Copies of this chain bind each other. A is one copy, B any other.
Amino acid sequence: MEKCFKKFDEKTVEKLIQTVGDALFVLGGKWTLRIIIALYNGNKRFSELRRAVNGISARVLSNELKDLEVNGFLKRVIDSEGFSVTVSYELTEYSFSLEEVVLALSSWGEKHLETIKKSL
């Protein structure tokens, strides 16, 4: 039960610490992944995102969207064809490289919540 867990050697652990750290540096924020996920089922406008990502303030959403654009996760799409200009946000292909991460976090988060509920 104990020794069987020692499956990683030192070098591997060192590398895992580094790469997981790199990933969390980008994705570890409270809102980053939630915003990306909210765009998984199609483009959304600013106010739609505010509703989808419950609890986020306009200021934070605005800042996050800028960061996400700079980091290549989404594009700001301006449509000036109609009477009024509309802005919407569209994921880039790069965002979809996060699918594995999102699914792993999601299924762990779900199990974790169950575990907590049982222990109460």
Contact = CB atoms under 8 A, between A and B. Distances in A.
Give this chain's copy count: 2
Interface string A30-66: 1001100110111000000000111000000000000
Interface in A62-105: 90-91, 93-94, 96-98, 100-105
B13 A37 contact: yes
Interface residues of A, number: 58
Contacts of A109: 18-24, 26
A17 B110 contact: no
A30 B7 CA distance: 24
Most chain B CB neighbours (cut-off 10 Å) among A24, A30, A53: A24
Most chain B CB neighbours (cut-off 10 Å) among A5, A9, A98, A102: A5
14 contacts: A5-B96, A6-B41, A16-B102, A18-B109, A19-B106, A19-B110, A20-B109, A21-B109, A23-B108, A24-B109, A26-B109, A26-B112, A27-B108, A100-B108
Interface of A: 1-2, 5-10, 12-24, 26-30, 33-34, 37-38, 40-42, 52-54, 90-91, 93-94, 96-98, 100-113, 115
